[in-house]
Amino acid sequence: MHNAFDKITEAVKKWDGKGNVEIQSLKQAGSNRQYFRLTKGPASYILTYNPANIPENNAFVSFTKHFTDQGLSVPSIEFVDPQQQFYVQSDLGDLSLFDIMQKEGFSENVKSLFQKTCRSLAQLQIVGGKNIDYSNCIATRSFDKQAIYSDLLYFLYYFVRALDLPYDKNLLLNDFEMLSSYLMQEENQFFMHRDCQSRNVMIKDEKIWFIDYQGGMQGALQYDIASLLWQARAQMPYEWRDELVNYYFDHANELLEGTLRKQDFMANYDGFVLIRMLQTLGAYGFRGLFERKPHFIASIPFALNNLKWFLENKHLPIRLPALQKVLNAIVADEVLEKFATVVAGPDCKLTVHINSFSYRKGIPEDQFGNGGGYVFDCRGILNPGRLDEYKTLTGRDKPVQEFLMHKTNMSSFLQHVFGMIDISIEDYIKRSFEGLTISFGCTGGQHRSVFAADKLAEHLRDKYKVNAVVRHIEQESKNWINEPY
């Protein structure tokens, strides 16, 4: 990943021909795809760099061109690398439906946006599913019995086994077979987005736009609307879910000229809700429990609470005793407590003091706690201060941040730091401790330590809602003015 930014710079020259494009890296999500915003005069574009998965690139490009021809709300493809390692698409901005929901809560505006999304989703599935070429699908062309069974095995291997829960393998596999067969009763001739959640719905110019459908395939209508309304992190009110699935059904039925039977649709819908929840837990298990990615570990409690409510309030018309036993064990109190995220409440006394400093001036003392805390040495990370273009900049300047994230091991370094610090933060919140000091040092206290301190503060505020106070000792003493050296 260190030289990815260099490769992107060269790639942009291929596309632009002149190289007069500003390149900004964007936050990476759960996949290995890397995203960059390209600004060229007043126009901006998104470049997706994914050399390790060319079939995925081909699927997205193929689907997008088809949807664009159908007049559907997706980004347009502006350029495709001849080697198919990257592609450039129109820029839909940074505002997702999830972002608006986080800001406004479950307001009438948010409900209206979900209604628009339901209408647009039905069009994507039904209109977009006509005459589409499924030959570029990544894994399978259709969400058939085998694909459903694979999702259930994914859940078993990466979540159930990770928790070391007892189960009868033969009986459980029999239930997987029965659930797969049951869901195959539903007509599956439509386009299935496969990851239709509010993070993959962009809002621009008051319109709904879909992204990240590269995993799409042919499938049943119910899967995507289940994915949207039962997204674990969204925590949508359950009465909204019932209201919106009915709203979606009415619009889909209108597009299909009244050929859907509501009773059958709704009966099978609950089965697709269950399979989506289990697939999600499998993904959280793989990304979180095996790859140790903090965001996915933190998402597990939301998914378990979703499942717990479903088990208490919904009932499938088929008996799945072995699966039911496993699911009951998963939502038991001891498992929920294991994954519960500690969050600082209004009465939390903890303040985390985070410093950046220069080793030339010595390690700062802990002035707020008990003389303990952490000191991290960032000098093992490649120093941007050695390069002329960064000498007067700091870790708060975009070019330095790009350098640290894409040309050094800073990302891996911070991931390990976060894992270590999280243990103390959760313990300190539970025990009502009042202070913890964490310091990051580098040679001059200008680039690496500044960046790391700011990133840790951002992480702690986002994950634990804790009060994090940052002090950049060297930079504040110089009023953030740095002379070339």
Say how far apart CA 283 and CA 227 lie, in whole Å.
13
Say how far apart CA 99 and CA 423 lie, in whole Å.
28
Same domain, 199 and 319: yes
Q: Which of 8-17, 66-75, 138-147 has the lowest mean pLDDT?
A: 8-17
Structural domain total, the chain: 3
pLDDT of residue 106: 96
Nearest 10 degrees: CA dihedral of 234, 235, 238, 244? -10
**What is the pLDDT averaged over residues 122-145?**
96
Q: Is residue 483 part of a domain?
A: no
Same domain, 112 and 65: no
Q: Is residue 482 part of a domain?
A: no
Residue after which a domain boundary falls, among 90, 111, 130: 90
Q: Is residue 344 part of a domain?
A: no
pLDDT of residue 1: 45
DSSP 200-257: GEEEETTEEEE---TT-EEE-HHHHHHHHHT-GGG---HHHHHHHHHHHHHHHHHHTT
Q: What is the pLDDT of residues 227-249, one digit of tens each?
A: 999 999 999 999 999 999 999 99
Q: What is the pLDDT of residues 373-418, one digit of tens each?
A: 999 999 999 999 999 999 999 999 989 998 998 889 998 899 899 9
Is the confidence at residue 133, as pLDDT, over 60?
yes
Same domain, 85 and 104: no
**What is the pLDDT averaged over residues 331-359?**
91
Residue after which a domain boundary falls, among 292, 316, 339: 339
Instruction: Look at phi and psi of residue 465 and say left if phi exceeds 0, alpha if psi is from -120 to 50, else beta.
Output: left
Q: How far is CA 31 from CA 53, 200, 228, 343, in A?
A: 11, 13, 19, 27
Say how far apart CA 46 and CA 40 lie, in whole Å.
11
Confidence of residue 252 (pLDDT cuts 50, 70, 90): very high
Is the confidence at residue 140, as pLDDT, over 90?
yes
Where residue 168 sits, what CATH number does that domain have? 3.90.1200.10
Q: Is residue 176 part of a domain?
A: yes
Where residue 10 sits, what CATH number does that domain have? 3.30.200.20
Same domain, 66 and 104: no
Q: What is the pLDDT of residues 168-187, one digit of tens each?
A: 999 999 999 999 999 998 88
Same domain, 133 and 154: yes
Confidence of residue 15 (pLDDT cuts 50, 70, 90): confident
Same domain, 251 and 296: yes
**What is the pLDDT averaged over residues 305-328?**
96
Greater model confidence, 122 or 349: 122
Same domain, 359 and 329: no
pLDDT of residue 4: 65
Confidence of residue 422 (pLDDT cuts 50, 70, 90): very high
DSSP-assigned beta bridge partners for residue 201: 210
Sequence-distant (≥ 6) Cβ neighbours of residue 153 within 8 angstroms: 176
Residue after which a domain boundary falls, among 282, 307, 339: 339
Nearest to 26 by CA among 385, 450, 401: 401
Say how far apart CA 347 and CA 215 lie, in whole Å.
44
Q: What is the pLDDT of residues 71-100, one digit of tens each?
A: 999 999 999 999 999 999 999 999 999 999
pLDDT of residue 3: 59
Confidence of residue 205 (pLDDT cuts 50, 70, 90): very high
Say how far apart CA 472 and CA 479 lie, in whole Å.
10
Say how far apart CA 200 and CA 184 lie, in whole Å.
26
Greater model confidence, 14 or 198: 198
Q: Which residue has the tokens 């941040």?
A: 401
Same domain, 355 and 328: no
Task: Supply 391's token pair.
Answer: 């000498």
Q: Which domain holds residue 259?
A: 97-339
First and final C-alpha spacing in the chain: 29
Q: Is residue 116 part of a domain?
A: yes
Angle (nearest 5°) at CA 184 between 178 and 186: 130
Q: Which of 354-358, 448-452, 458-462 has the lowest mean pLDDT?
A: 458-462
CB 151, CB 279: distance < 8 Å: yes
Is the confidence at residue 62, as pLDDT, over 80?
yes
Same domain, 84 and 116: no
Same domain, 191 and 235: yes
Nearest to 223 by CA among 163, 270, 285: 270
Q: Is residue 473 part of a domain?
A: yes
Same domain, 428 and 454: yes
pTM: 0.81
Same domain, 182 and 280: yes
Q: Which residue has the tokens 């006509």?
A: 130
